[in-house]
Amino acid sequence: MIEQAASAKIVLGIDIGGTGIKGAPVNVETGELLCERVRIDTPQPATPEAVGAVVKQLVEQFNWQGPIGCTFPAIVHNGVTLSAANVDASWLNAPAQDILAQVTGLPLKLINDADAAGLAEGVFGAAKGKAGKVLMITLGTGIGSALIVDGKLISNTELGHLIFKNDEIAEKYCSGKIKDDLDLKWKEYTQRLNEYILHLQLLLSPDLLIIGGGISKKHDKFIPELTGLRFPVVPAELKNDAGIVGAALEAAREFGVL
């Protein structure tokens, strides 16, 4: 277990994804991971029971006894998962927060994965100290989104599910997976992404857009080529740690650690 200084405020952050579940203790005052994160493959099928067993394994691996923040790739409302677009269908309408809290025996707060990433970027990353409307999109298997207004998270925006082209949702048009599946060149992909971001501009007029997800590692290939935007576009700074940090931060606020 992490040696916790008396003054440190530490929460265990766990990031549940479709292929991996990773976690680490986080100093929620600085956003720093206090040791190397541990990653375990997501069980298949990723049922609540199977995922709960992995979360419990991570808690035991860190010998953790405090609050836990946990992300999930679905709409999370009052601890219930209300969608299952890219996860096992058994999560639909499941009391996921209660399930994971019971299996760990510890106070646990569940948050949408993109919301967690946006929260982390707002407090410790690319949007730190930024006022106004900050929008983050994560480009991966789907498109996640987080909206932060004057530092406050507006949860479960699900802007990747906007009806956009040919009566399809946006993530079927310009997610990272679509680029790979259609073998799109960067110029072709950037044109699609630009159309989507212009649509978001029409709807929300953000002051800043942050792009995260796996594709953001190649941000130099597409961000400079975006046109017609009234706001700056920057890559996420916290990369693969953003979900862990944001989940821990949300739990810290929920349980009075901060």
- Taken as a whole, the chain contains a residue count of 258
The whole-chain average pLDDT of the chain stands at: 94
27 and 101 part of one domain: yes
141 and 231 part of one domain: yes
* Beta strands, E only, the chain: 10-16, 20-27, 32-33, 38-41, 68-72, 76-77, 80-81, 108-112, 133-139, 143-149, 152-154, 163-165, 168-169, 208-212, 233-235
Residues of the domain holding 193: 128-236
Is 150 within a domain? yes
Query: Three-state SS for 202?
Result: helix
Least confident of 25-29, 60-64, 84-88: 84-88
Is 2 within a domain? no
167 and 74 part of one domain: no
Which residues 6+ apart lie within 8 Å of 61 measured at CB? 38
183 and 227 part of one domain: yes
Instruction: Tell me the C-alpha distance between 13 and 247, whole Å.
Output: 5
245 and 208 part of one domain: no
Is 120 within a domain? no
pTM for the whole structure: 0.92
Instruction: Tell me the C-alpha distance between 176 and 140, whole Å.
Output: 4
* Beta strands, E only, 113-167: 133-139, 143-149, 152-154, 163-165
72 and 162 part of one domain: no
Is 101 within a domain? yes
Say what percent of the chain tops pLDDT 90.
Answer: 90
Is 26 within a domain? yes
181 and 213 part of one domain: yes
Is 136 within a domain? yes
- Mean pLDDT, range 88-96, rounded to an integer: 96
Q: Is the pLDDT of residue 2 over 60?
A: no
64 and 95 part of one domain: yes
- Mean pLDDT, range 33-59, rounded to an integer: 96
Compute the Cα dihedral for 55, 56, 59, 65 and give only its sign: positive
Would you state the pLDDT for residue 97? 98
Instruction: Tell me the C-alpha distance between 14 and 22, whole Å.
Output: 6
218 and 182 part of one domain: yes
Q: Exposed e or buried b for every residue in 40-62, given b needs 16+ CB within 10 A?
A: eebeeebbbeebbebbeebbeeb
246 and 232 part of one domain: no
142 and 220 part of one domain: yes
CATH code (residue 34)? 3.30.420.40
Give 10's strand partners. 27
* Cα 241 → chain centroid: 10
The tally of domains found in the chain comes to 2
Surface-to-core class of residue 204, CB atoms within 10 Å of its CB (0-12 exposed, 13-18 middle, 19+ buried): middle
Is 1 within a domain? no
- Mean pLDDT, range 108-124, rounded to an integer: 97
Is 227 within a domain? yes
93 and 67 part of one domain: yes
